Structure 1
Amino acid sequence: MTTLPLAGIRVLDISQVMAGPFCCMLLGDMGADVIKVEPPGVGDSTRKSMGFRLKGEDSPGFLALNRNKRSVTLNLKDDADREVFYALVKTADVVVENGRPGVAERLGMSYEALRAVNPKIIYASISGFGQTGPWALRPGYDLIAQAMSGVISATGHPGGEPVKSDIPVGDLGAGLFAVYAILSAVIGRDRTGEGQFIDASLFEAALGLSVWATTELWGTGKSPSPLGTANRMSAPYQAVKASDAYFVFGAANQKLWLAFLDVIGRPELADDPRFLTNTERLVNARELIDLLKPIFLAKTADEWVEVLLAAGVPAGQIYDYEQALASDHTAARQMVLDVPHPVEGTFKALGFPVKMSATPQQVRHAPPLLGEHNEEIRRELAERGLLDGTKGDAAR
């Protein structure tokens, strides 16, 4: 097996549900030794979530977010188990937690407490709204983050009911931003010898991913509103209906606009004052699409996509997830994996969304059973002299 970039980095994952587990899985995919610390008996609450199962008791959601980890069960309210946890902290580089502000402190696992055990620890805390500010103590879910960051206000169709992004941009975005901060802190620690505290939140992730939409507010003074599939900066750039189905295309610059007009047989529109430049096309976007609608009804979606692509105009069919995952391109990019599992046999999971040429990622560990590595991890601590192997209590 190729040595992965994060081999030798140990991460303690004391998070649950999505943002923290996703962050830690990405670190594990790159080679980190991720130890998932879970409450005895119940574990990560996502193990019991969702209304469907494959074969075992763990939900497909848990399986999707927890590969390349080992599991140890510790009751962090119990003194003896907390000492085992502190022993693990002495061996760790990174700790990731996603409780509401104040919870970690009550359990004796705040940044200050763990820094006293290991001064070099990098501690990432992921919460709904961050550790400071008037909303800090509010419970945080992706839905709330999307609502209060402005994302929902600009999603959906004009005049329609509020619509959230089906992709949990707050949760997954917070996990991604936490990875970026953790790796930066690891590099910084190599120079300074010091760890640090990382404060990430679902709210700021959703807001941070709004970097494009917010330019409309600051550029025009008007808050972005829902546009359906249309684009705020280019037109035409959206979904349109062919004779049999919808498809998408984007004539996002002047060259593509002229090529698009040749494809649809309407070159005279290049001289129409309403559509001369992208600026005019955006102002008159509704009028433009209404003019184009009858033209698209002349061919099927597949036919339009074929002729547009041949002319160099970006276009694509609208696939559901079953179609997308079954595509030849998905297979070529190895984006569906069959992951071996001690209970499921194998299960399907998304592959690695970025490729590393010299150190390709690997599924080294299936998503762990609850407490699957209890004995193994305690034995490792005992071998390091951090745990009494006979009594199972951490060395004091």
Structure 2
Amino acid sequence: MAGTLSHIKVLDFSRVFAGPWAAQMLADFGADVIKVEHVKGGDDVRHMGVPHLDAEGNPTGETSSFLAMNRGKRSIGLDLKHPEGQALARKLIAEADVLIENFKTGNLARFGLDYAAAAEINPRLVYCSITGFGQTGPMAHLPGYDPIFQAMSGLLSMTGTADGLPGAGPALVGYSISDITAGQYAVSAILAALNHRDVVSGEGQYIDISLLDTQIHAASHMAMNYLSSGRLPRRNGTASQITCPWQAFDCADRPIMIAIGNDPQFARFCDYLGLDGVAEDPRFATNLARVTHAEELVPMIAGKLAEKQADTCYAELEAIGIPAGPLNSFEDVFAMEQVQARGLLKALDHPRAGRVSYVGNPVRFSKTMADDGRHPPLHAEHTDEVLREMGLDEAAVAALRDAGAVK
């Protein structure tokens, strides 16, 4: 089966995380994604992150970060500063449906590859720019990385240990959430623009994605809580600020996560713990009351759970319909029967890294497939292949390579 986007050609001019993540998602959905990399070194993330090890524990020359963001693509090496490299880029643009880039604001205009120029070549092109601060505003010229946006978006005001407790202070989210979030917004926007082109206007358009904007928007209900009440969110460890009990508790052997979503669940939970009369107590009878009186309620729950073994507790809570879960490591995650049943852990063969395990695309279509398993490309692995598809013969490709326009 072909993917849902098997009719779409994407040019991925982006590097590092947000743009490549968006392009990989489109590749997983079947698009032909051509990753356009600099002739010298390629994507920066080829040299960042944890070295990928082979079965014997030896470095393979690949990095975990590149492997995570570039599955399903073909790579060509192109020097955009070279006139012939620019000419090739324009030829690619003429046949593309989507272009994704994350150069600093205004940089591609120096090469005649900005949206205005690209739209002259191909009016049907959907052109998506992903930058730290967007194309407008006083900070538009600035670069930035994920922790900057976690800090500036207000996210770090909500993560970590509360003031006054040991270890108080913010805690960085453990993955590049701002990049991944921006990439997901980019995918949604690109698909919306393609639909508008094909159903309504017949024309492509420009998309401006900002990591700061998307991270603030992704704060969603927490930002709205502040706008509704004027109360700033606080750092609260694993505990929710709007629902109680909704946090990790220590069992006798290890922690367990509890998430009580409504009053009937809380009543059953109290029965399970032997907290007689607590569910009917006006201080705890409703969620709002429980949040207000959390400092009284949480120690009572913690005392009861501290007497139980985590696995036993989890099984017993599951049996009575109380949402709970273990605090897993990735070793635990990939050993879960549920994860295995869903087929999330996959493997593919890589010409340098050997057999590579990876997390498969989680989307399940009923009639088309996602994720065809094309390995993350070697640097410029497909230059000759792509140029031949553009009509260039071996002599022309060799001349371009000799001139330094391609790798």
Bucket of the pairwise TM-score, normalised by the shorter protein: over 0.9
On the 8 A contact 1:149/1:207 being kept in 2, the answer is yes
Worse-superposed segment, 162-171 or 312-321: 162-171
User: Which of structure 1's runs of 4+ aligned residues deviate more than 6 A?
Assistant: none
Q: Which of residues 56, 76, 86 in structure 1 aligns to 2:80?
A: 76
Quote the residue 1:177 is aligned against.
Answer: 185
Select the residue among 213, 218, 241 that pairs with 2:222: 213
Taking the aligned partners of 1:368 and 1:293, their CA distance within structure 2 comes to 50
Q: 1:295-332: per-residue Cα shift (whole Å, max 9, x none)?
A: 11221111211111111110111111111112111111
Q: Does 1:267 align with 2:276?
A: yes
* Equivalent position of 1:301 in the other structure: 310
Equivalent residues in 2 for 1:1-396 (5 A)? 2-54=1-53, 55-159=59-163, 160-190=168-198, 191-382=200-391, 387=392, 390-392=395-397
Residue 157 of structure 1 aligns with an amino acid whose one-letter code is T
Q: Which residue identity lines up with residue 197 of structure 2 in the other structure?
A: R
Distance 1:349 1:235, change over 3 A: same
Q: Classify the secondary structure of the residue corresponding to 1:72.
A: strand
Residue by residue over 1:49-103, the C-alpha shift from the partner in whole angstroms, topping out at 9 and shown as x without a partner, is 1242324322121011101100011000000111011111111000000111111
Q: Whole-Å Cα distance in 2 between the matches of residues 181 and 158 of structure 1?
A: 37
Q: Which amino acid letter does the alignment assign opposite residue 101 of structure 2?
A: E
1:134-173, Cα deviation, whole Å (9 max, x unpaired)? 2211212111111111001111110112212113221000
| Letter of the structure 2 residue corresponding to residue 108 of structure 1 | G
User: Mean alpha-carbon deviation: is it higher for 160-169 or for 330-339?
Assistant: 160-169
Alignment correspondent of 2:405: none
- Residue by residue over 1:225-246, the C-alpha shift from the partner in whole angstroms, topping out at 9 and shown as x without a partner, is 1111111221111100111111
Partners in 1 of 2:354 and 2:62 — Cα distance?
Answer: 13
Instruction: Report the residue type matching 1:299 in the other structure.
Output: K
Letter in 1 for 2:15: Q
Query: What secondary structure is seen at the aligned counterpart in 2 of 1:199?
Result: strand
The code of the aligned residue for 2:244 comes to A
- Taking structure 1 as the reference length, the TM-score comes to 0.95
Pair 1:75–1:216, CA change in 2 (3 A): same
State the SS of the aligned residue for 1:339.
Answer: strand
SS, match of residue 60 in structure 2: coil
Q: Distance in 2 between matches of 1:305 and 1:343?
A: 42
Q: Amino acid of the residue matched to residue 391 of structure 1?
A: A
Q: Aligned partners of 1:157 and 1:111: how far apart in 2?
A: 45
Deviating more after overlay: 173-182 vs 349-358 = 349-358
Q: Which has the higher contact order (CA 8 A, sep 6+)?
A: 2
Alpha-carbon distance in 2 for matches of 1:164, 1:26: 25
Percent identity over the alignment is: 38
Pick which of 52-61 and 34-43 moved more.
Answer: 52-61
How many residues get paired? 389
Gaps of 5+ in 1: none
Residue 388 of structure 1 deviates from its aligned partner by: 6.8
- Aligned to 2:51, the other structure's residue is in SS state coil
CA distance in 2, matches of 1:362, 1:290: 47
Give the counterpart letter for 1:4 in structure 2.
G
